[in-house]
Every structure is written in C-alpha cells, then in structure tokens.
Amino acid sequence: MIKSVVTAIGAAVLASACATPYSETPLATNFATSKQHKLQAASHWNLISRDVALRLSASLPRDAAVFVNQASEQTAFERAFTAQLLTALVQAGHPVMKSPEGALRIGIDTQAIPFSADRPQYRNFGSATALGAGVWAIHDLVEYASNGAGKAAMLGLMAIDAHKWFQSEFASGETPEHEIIITTTVSDANRYIARDTSVYYVADADRKLYMPPATAHTIVKTFAVGGDE
C-alpha cells in the first residue's frame, strides 16, 4: 500500500514538471551563454573606438573623405569616444575633414540603459575543467621543485594561481545594471554606407559618465498673500 502511494506521488511530481501542450503566453527561456565586455577604464574606450574604426574602414570607399559629427551636448563618454574615433580614423589614413562639405558623415549614437538589479550570471561553468588544464600546463615548472612538502605546497599555490588566471577573464562583482548601446553610422545625403552597433556593460559606479545630464526641474513655490483687513 505504502509503495503504491509513493509511486502515485512520484508520478504526480513528474507530471507537474512537464509543460502543458497549451499556454496563454510563451514560456521564458534563456539564450545560449555568451560574453559581453565591461567598460571600466578610459583605455577601454580607446580600444573599442579603434575596433569601430577598423570595422568601418572595411566598408569605406578608398580615399573617401569623412566628417565626424560632434553633438553640442555630450556625455563624458561620448566626448572621449568621439575624439578617440577621430584619432583612430586619422591614424588609419582616412582624410578626416573639419567641415562636412563633400565628405561622408560619421554619426555616433549612444543609448545608456538601466536594467533591473540582481540579474544572475553562471560564470563558473566549467571552472573545474579549466583548473585541471591550468595545473597540467604548469606541470613542467613543478618538476623543478623539491619533492615532498615543498613540491606539494608549490602545486597548491600554482593551482590557486591557475584558477585565478582562468577566472580573470570575468569581471568581478555582480552583473552590472547598466549597459550601453553604441551605434556608428557612415552616410551620404541619400543612403547609409556602413553601420556598426555594439553593446557593453558599464560599471554601475561610473554610470554618470554615460548618462545624459538630468533635466533641470523648475522649482515652483507658492506663497500665500494676505490682503489688508
């Protein structure tokens, strides 16, 4: 009797775990794991500006003159990125003009987006395999250590270092709440010639570098004015 009850409960649990054939809304599923860079220094801005310049160069006509649009109001990131992109284009040999007449226009659009906090990451997947590979890779160095406790200690230290080495690819801390979309466009008066879009995490503590200044609010105060009695 008890066995039958347990079997029935097990069947019920299995049945409840299965999705029904119909649903009022699509089921939420995860995308395949991917990686996204996190911007944490001005040198990172320089790296991505050079990367954008390289990709745009592949689509630009040879010896085509270009003009980089610069908005009057820019965030700290936009000012630096625009200047770095201009430098990268000059260094790549493109004729970069000071006025737009007769040149292809390069426009830069950024959109900083705040997402919800506490988004999970499963960054440690496969770390045991990586640690094993790290220990194997440094095996030759360990052979020069003395036998016994000294060799065991070196193995332990190198295992820790190997683990840190493999994990150093991943940014520390929780998943950033803020991300930035950077779109760079090359166009003439009639058509788009090249277009590049990239997405990056940004350090939450640095969000002011990417967000437009807050709109100033006019403070209205109401005063009660009493007439003569």
Question: 61 is written with which tokens?
Answer: 């006509």
pLDDT at 215: 38
Q: Are 52 and 68 in contact (CB under 8 A)?
A: no
Cα 146 to Cα 149: distance, rounded to the nearest angstrom: 8
* pTM of structure: 0.66
The vertex-57 CA angle with 101 and 34, nearest 5°, equals 130
Neighbours of 78 (CB within 10 A): 21
pLDDT at 126: 46
Return the percent helix, strand and coil in the chain, to nearest 5.
40, 15, 45
What string of DSSP letters covers 112-173?
EEE--S-----TTTTHHHHHHHHHHHTHHHHTTSPSTHHHHHHHHHHHHHHHHHHHTTSPSS
pLDDT at 220: 46
pLDDT at 33: 82
Domain ranges of the chain: 38-119+174-209, 124-169
Query: Please, what are the averages of pLDDT over each run of 10 residues along the chain (229 residues)?
Result: 56 58 88 88 95 92 91 93 96 94 95 84 52 42 50 55 57 81 94 94 93 56 53
pLDDT at 135: 44
Q: Are 96 and 58 in contact (CB under 8 A)?
A: no
DSSP label at residue 206: G
DSSP label at residue 184: E
Which of the following CATH numbers is that of domain 38-119+174-209: 3.30.70, 1.10.10, 3.30.160, 3.90.550?
3.30.160
Cα 116 to Cα 88: distance, rounded to the nearest angstrom: 35
Cα maximum dimension of the chain = 103
